[in-house]
């Protein structure tokens, strides 16, 4: 298959929608985005967890169908991002006492990893294991191989998720007829795409503010140290506005995006009156009080997860996600946490080559989707196999078999043709070529019937 048909496809199951992206990696390493599709999923997925199998399957089918039509290909597999409320990390130490001092070998380290992977969790399973450090004697080291010891303790960080999360993803993809190229942990893919090695090494936190969840990923020493998904997000702000002023969710969401501010230091003495439905108005101060109260709650939950290690975050807090686009979000975090090193990440869409016909949302709303695409490395398009063209002899034999034609005989007289002289088969029929045994069998049966007719 030509390079122009080698396409990577990724799917993300979010709270508000299911999104798909199709693209390819260019020779210079950049990503070319060919298409982005999405389906509403508010009644099928909640906080990243699928609970309506049929609706989710139909949404996947619709996205893949549009890819096939617009790109003129047949998609047969896709990379799938795993996220959601049940995703989290669990530290797990595994120790080994030895009878005598021995040199630590790769086999021993692998054995410790195997013991860790054998750890079971109620209703959950391990998706990824991140080795943290090894305690040999009184020293904590990253690579213990070659050291003499009679005692070693390995510290692992297990990324786990509920079984139902993975079961439902597999079920929906199977019902949609799409193979899973690889299950990817969405927050880790996003962190790899957004964070620099320097930031991961010196210590940082990536906060992904989504519609239904807020994901906190802590890095230090170039390793993942903590991953937590908080079941609060931008939709909570929207629901608060909707409930307080009796308006539809869509109107409240639009109001939040246009006029919302994450933090206001002081109420205005002359607040602007914002027009809303049914000839009503809403005070600017009232809107900010609603948003500020919920925003403070979300940030407080985030800070609770990282306050104990805040002094190690030399590269600070990096924020991303669709709900991070509300005005003055960095200032809100600084105010509610008293942690001053906060910045908004640069959107991945700015470093991607987007096809002119693709309608891409602005901001950080599809950063996770792009990060999944960036990780993919295998073609997701069904390859069309070229059939071998038969030789002229094979074409003639096939035609004769289909028409039931009698084998040709040598003759110089038309009357003798009609009488059909008895001839030896090997004089008139070529030896069959390999792969055509069935056709040859049919010829033999026809030839036998011919002789039987002569004997009668």
Averaged pLDDT, 153-157: 97
Say which residue the tokens 């692998």 belong to.
110
Say whether pLDDT at 1 is over 50: no
Contacts with 151 (C-beta within 8 Å, 6 or more apart), sequence order: 95, 96, 97, 98, 136, 137
Between residues 42 and 423, which one has the greater pLDDT? 42
443 alpha-carbon distance from chain centroid: 55
Residue-wise pLDDT for 319-343, tens only, equals: 999 999 999 999 999 999 999 999 9
How many residues does this entry show for the chain? 456
Please report the pLDDT score of residue 379 as a whole number: 95
Let me know the angle formed at the C-alpha of 433 by 429 and 439, rounded to the nearest 5 degrees.
70
Contacts of residue 426, defined as CB under 8 A and 6 or more positions apart, other chains included, come to: none
**Measured distance CA(60)–CA(75) in Å, rounded:** 12
Which pLDDT score, from 0 to 100, does residue 420 have?
46
Confidence of residue 419 (pLDDT cuts 50, 70, 90): very low
Instruction: Give the pLDDT band of residue 28 (cuts 50, 70, 90).
Output: confident
- Of the two residues 64 and 1, the one the predictor is more confident about is 64
Interval 413-429 mean pLDDT? 47
Q: What does the pLDDT read at residue 388?
A: 55
Q: What is the mean pLDDT of residues 72-96?
A: 94
Residues 6+ apart with CB under 8 A from 48: 13, 14, 15, 83, 84, 85, 87, 165, 212, 213, 229
Please compute the mean of the pLDDT values over residues 437-442 and round it to a whole number.
Answer: 46
Mean of per-residue pLDDT scores for the chain: 86
Which pLDDT score, from 0 to 100, does residue 178 have?
Answer: 97
Q: What is the pLDDT of residue 29?
A: 80
Give the pLDDT band (50/70/90) at residue 43.
confident
Strand pairing class (317-320; 342-344): parallel
Do the Cβ atoms of 252 and 283 come closer than 8 Å? no
Sheet holding 204-209, edge to edge: 223-230, 214-220, 204-209, 317-320, 342-344
pLDDT tens-digit readout, 238-266: 999 999 999 999 999 999 999 999 999 88
The pLDDT score that the predictor gives to residue 85 is 85
Exposure b/e, 236-258, CB count within 10 A at least 16 = b: bbbebbbeebebeeeebbebbee
- pLDDT confidence band for 399 (50 / 70 / 90): low
The pTM for the full model equals 0.80
Contact call for residues 337 and 303 (beta carbons, < 8 A): yes
Q: DSSP readout, 362-379?
A: STTTTHHHHHHHHH--S-
Q: What are the φ and ψ backbone dihedral angles of 421, each rounded to 5 degrees?
A: -65, 150
Q: How confident is the model at residue 269 (pLDDT cuts 50, 70, 90)?
A: confident
Average pLDDT over residues 18-35: 91
DSSP 3-state percent helix, strand, coil across the chain (nearest 5): 40, 30, 30
The Cα-based distances of 176 to 36, 47, 48, 323, 423 in angstroms read 18, 22, 19, 30, 60
As a whole-number percent, the residues of the chain with pLDDT over 90 amount to 68
Residue 91 makes CB contacts below 8 A (sequence gap 6+) with 132, 155, 156, 157, 158
Of 169, 168, 82, 170, the C-alpha closest to 126 is 82
- Residue 356: pLDDT band (50, 70, 90) is confident
pLDDT at 412 over 70: no
Q: Name all domains of the chain by residue range, CATH numbers in brackets.
A: 3-75+347-375 (3.30.420.40), 88-161 (3.30.1490.110), 229-343 (3.30.420.40), 392-455 (no CATH)
Residue 15 has what pLDDT?
Answer: 78
* Beta strand ranges found along 248-399 (DSSP E): 273-276, 280-283, 317-320, 342-344, 353-354
- Better-predicted residue by pLDDT, 248 or 48: 248
* Confidence band of 86 (pLDDT split at 50, 70, 90): confident
């Amino acid at each position: 298959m030509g390079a122009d048909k080698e396409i990577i496809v990724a799917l993300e199951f979010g709270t508000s929608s299911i999104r798909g992206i199709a693209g390819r990696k260019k020779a210079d390493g950049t990503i070319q985005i060919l298409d982005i599709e999405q389906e509403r999923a508010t009644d099928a997925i909640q906080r990243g967890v699928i609970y309506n199998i049929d609706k989710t399957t139909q949404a996947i089918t619709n996205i893949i169908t549009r890819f096939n039509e617009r790109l003129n290909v047949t998609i047969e597999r896709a990379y799938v991002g795993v996220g959601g409320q049940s995703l989290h990390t669990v530290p797990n130490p595994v120790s080994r006492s030895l009878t005598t001092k021995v040199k630590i070998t790769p086999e021993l380290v692998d054995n410790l990893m195997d013991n860790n992977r054998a750890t079971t969790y109620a209703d959950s399973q391990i998706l990824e294991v991140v080795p943290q450090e090894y305690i040999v004697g009184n020293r904590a080291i990253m690579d213990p191989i070659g050291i003499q010891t009679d005692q070693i303790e390995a510290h692992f960080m297990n990324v786990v998720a509920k079984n139902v999360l993975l079961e439902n993803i597999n079920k929906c993809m199977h019902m949609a007829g799409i193979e899973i190229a690889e299950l990817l942990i969405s927050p880790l893919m996003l962190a790899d795409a957004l964070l620099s090695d320097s930031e991961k090494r010196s210590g940082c936190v990536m906060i992904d503010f989504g519609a239904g969840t807020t994901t906190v990923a802590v890095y230090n020493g170039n390793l993942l140290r903590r991953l937590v998904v908080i079941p609060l997000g931008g939709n909570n702000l929207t629901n608060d506005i909707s409930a307080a002023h009796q308006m539809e969710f869509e109107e409240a969401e639009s109001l939040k995006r246009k006029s919302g501010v994450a933090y206001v230091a002081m109420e205005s003495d002359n607040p602007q009156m914002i027009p809303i439905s049914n000839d009503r108005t809403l005070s600017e101060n009232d809107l900010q009080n609603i948003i500020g109260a919920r925003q403070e709650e979300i940030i407080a939950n985030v800070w609770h997860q990282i306050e104990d290690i805040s002094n190690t975050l030399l590269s600070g807090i990096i924020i991303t996600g669709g709900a991070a686009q509300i005005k003055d979000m960095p200032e809100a975090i600084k105010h509610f946490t008293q942690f001053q090193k906060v910045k908004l990440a640069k959107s991945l869409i700015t470093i991607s080559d987007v096809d002119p016909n693709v309608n891409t949302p602005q901001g950080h709303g599809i950063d996770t989707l792009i990060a999944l695409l960036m990780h993919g490395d295998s073609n997701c398009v069904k390859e069309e196999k070229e059939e071998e063209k038969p030789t002229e002899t094979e074409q003639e034999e096939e035609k004769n078999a289909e028409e039931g034609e009698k084998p040709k005989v040598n003759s110089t007289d038309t009357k003798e043709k009609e009488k059909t002289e008895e001839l030896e088969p090997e004089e008139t029929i070529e030896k069959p070529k390999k792969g055509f045994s069935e056709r040859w069998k049919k010829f033999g049966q026809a030839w036998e019937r011919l002789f039987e007719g002569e004997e009668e």
